[in-house]
């Protein structure tokens, strides 16, 4: 199918041609005719699949043809609001369509004034939009089309109450479009309250909620190998831009400092950053001034950056939805991507749960480490030696060694220790399939023995 088949207003089609769009993506091909017909829609699509144009083009086409006057797009973060508004502006500029971003952290005055002047599209975050409606500042904003973009992100960020309140101020005779990467029950429940007989479409495949052009791998490692594994992966993978996801803010700071100390071009992003610093990091990352962004899940929400070749999960995420959002930062606009997860034996069951719930096909991989011992291996070995209890015969054995040089004796004993601990500090990072199978067999046997013990106790 070609974009010319949608019969857009000439000025809208001009924006499409200038943008270089030729063939619609799956979500565009499916959603545009439904939206053009006036129906409500619930669409499941990942960021980067062209969903902004999927709802933006038919919406602006209606404005250009005089069928509607105003539209409202609600996004979870100010960064996403800015991105959406920029894309809508470029696609609709030849039709003279004006857009406005509305978000917190700046003064109300200019936003209110422009809404009263009659901008056609307002792209807003929930908190600021709710405040403006509640204070009666934007009663003139009566959109005929309302879009909820990345609805599951808004839900995760705690905006459900704000969304419900906003829809109390919006006229009932509207067209409502809901876009979400995942479809948890609260999203379905919200859709049933604010949409009227919507059509449901999906562009993520029938049995999977992860993008099938993303290669997903995991490395089963020891806890002390995380930093070494990440560094080796960054050295060996052919990365363009990449994101390293951490669970906590302090972890982001530590990993960022570690990578910078090794000469990597890295920057951290988390919730404690001032807005001006956050914008500086994101702009620098987009421009390619740094190749690696180390971020928390919350900080990366709404982040839409082109050419992210790799996503690294330094730690496995807390839940399956977070995994979907993390890896969805790569493999966009038809390009392939790599999603790599570091996981310990203790976390393996959680990884299996994520695989099952999101339909992810992850393959186990191993990584050749650096030659010899690195600092991580030395620290691990030194800790093992410090923890060894002194045997009662140790002094007698020293006497048996005669006049052997004490340094030579110590080197020989450490060499024996290195040989014994080669699986923990060897050059290979990550366990192979045979080792994983053996560990899981042992885990399952221990679990079975525990269940049997508990049953016997209950019988008593």
Domain boundaries, the chain: 3-202, 214-368
Six token digits for residue 243? 């994101």
pLDDT at 362 over 90: no
**What integer pLDDT is reported at residue 206 of this predicted model?**
40
| 3 state DSSP class of 405 | coil
Topology match between the domains 3-202 and 214-368: yes
Q: How confident is the model at residue 305 (pLDDT cuts 50, 70, 90)?
A: confident
| 3 state DSSP class of 349 | helix
What is the architecture, at CATH level 2, of domain 214-368? 3-Layer(aba) Sandwich (3.40)
292 touches 244 (CB < 8 A): yes
Six token digits for residue 181? 């990467």
Give this prediction's pTM.
0.58
End-to-end CA distance of the chain: 71
**What integer pLDDT is reported at residue 203 of this predicted model?**
76
Spatial distance between the Cα atoms of 384 and 313, rounded to a whole number of angstroms: 28
Spatial distance between the Cα atoms of 137 and 115, rounded to a whole number of angstroms: 9
Tens digit of pLDDT for each residue in 269-296? 987 888 788 888 888 898 889 999 999 8
Q: How many residues does the chain have?
A: 460
Spatial distance between the Cα atoms of 230 and 309, rounded to a whole number of angstroms: 15
CA atoms within 13 A on the CB side of 307: 11
**What integer pLDDT is reported at residue 422 of this predicted model?**
58
Spatial distance between the Cα atoms of 240 and 251, rounded to a whole number of angstroms: 23
Q: Which CATH superfamily is domain 3-202 in?
A: P-loop containing nucleotide triphosphate hydrolases (3.40.50.300)
Which of 300, 52, 353, 333 has its CA nearest to residue 214?
Answer: 333
Residue 42: count other Cβ atoms within 10 Å of its Cβ: 23
- What is the arithmetic mean of pLDDT over 434-442? 70
- Across the chain, mean pLDDT equals 84
Q: How confident is the model at residue 444 (pLDDT cuts 50, 70, 90)?
A: low
Which of 225, 230, 228, 224 has its CA nearest to residue 243?
Answer: 230
Q: How confident is the model at residue 208 (pLDDT cuts 50, 70, 90)?
A: very low
Spatial distance between the Cα atoms of 90 and 88, rounded to a whole number of angstroms: 6
**What integer pLDDT is reported at residue 209 of this predicted model?**
44
pLDDT at 428 over 70: no
Q: Which residue has better confidence, 312 or 404?
A: 312
């Amino acid at each position: 199918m070609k974009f010319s088949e949608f019969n857009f207003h000439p000025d809208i089609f001009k924006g499409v041609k200038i943008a270089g769009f030729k063939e619609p993506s799956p979500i565009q091909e499916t959603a545009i005719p439904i939206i053009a017909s006036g129906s409500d829609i619930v669409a499941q699509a990942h960021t980067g699949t062209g969903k902004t144009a999927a709802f933006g083009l038919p919406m602006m086409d209606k404005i250009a043809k005089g069928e509607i006057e105003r539209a409202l797009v609600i996004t979870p973060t100010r960064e996403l609001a800015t991105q959406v508004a920029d894309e809508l502006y470029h696609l609709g500029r030849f039709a003279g369509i004006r857009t406005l971003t509305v978000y917190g952290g700046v003064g109300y005055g200019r936003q209110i004034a422009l809404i009263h002047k009659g901008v056609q599209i307002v792209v807003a975050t929930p908190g600021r939009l709710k405040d403006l409606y509640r204070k009666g500042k934007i009663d003139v904003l009566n959109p005929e089309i309302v879009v909820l973009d990345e609805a599951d992100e808004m839900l995760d960020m705690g905006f459900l109450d704000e969304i419900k309140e906003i829809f109390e101020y919006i006229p009932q005779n509207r067209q409502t479009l809901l876009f979400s990467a995942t479809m948890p029950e609260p999203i379905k429940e919200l859709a049933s309250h604010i949409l009227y007989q919507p059509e449901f479409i999906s562009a993520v495949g029938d049995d999977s909620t992860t993008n099938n052009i993303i290669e997903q791998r995991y490395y089963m490692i020891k806890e002390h190998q995380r930093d070494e594994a990440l560094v080796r992966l960054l050295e060996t993978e052919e990365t363009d831009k990449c994101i390293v996801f951490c669970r906590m803010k302090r972890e982001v700071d530590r990993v960022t400092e570690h990578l910078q100390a090794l000469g990597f071009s890295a920057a951290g992003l988390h919730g404690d950053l001032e807005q001006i610093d956050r914008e500086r990091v994101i702009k620098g990352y987009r421009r390619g001034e740094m190749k690696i962004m180390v971020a928390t899940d919350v900080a990366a929400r709404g982040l839409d950056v082109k050419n992210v070749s790799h996503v690294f999960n330094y730690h496995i995420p807390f839940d399956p939805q977070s995994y979907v959002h993390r890896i969805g930062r790569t493999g966009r606009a038809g390009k392939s991507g790599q999603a790599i997860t570091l996981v310990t034996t203790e976390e393996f069951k959680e990884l299996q749960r994520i695989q099952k719930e999101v339909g992810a096909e992850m393959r186990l991989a191993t990584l050749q480490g650096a030659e010899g011992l690195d600092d991580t291996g030395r620290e691990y070995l030194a800790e093992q030696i410090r923890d060894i209890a002194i045997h009662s015969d140790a002094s007698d054995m020293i006497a048996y060694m005669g006049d052997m040089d004490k340094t030579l004796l110590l080197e020989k004993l450490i060499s024996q220790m290195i040989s014994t601990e080669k699986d923990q500090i060897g050059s290979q990072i990550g366990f192979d399939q045979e080792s994983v199978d053996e560990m899981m067999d042992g885990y399952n046997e221990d679990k079975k023995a525990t269940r049997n013990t508990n049953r016997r106790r209950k019988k008593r």
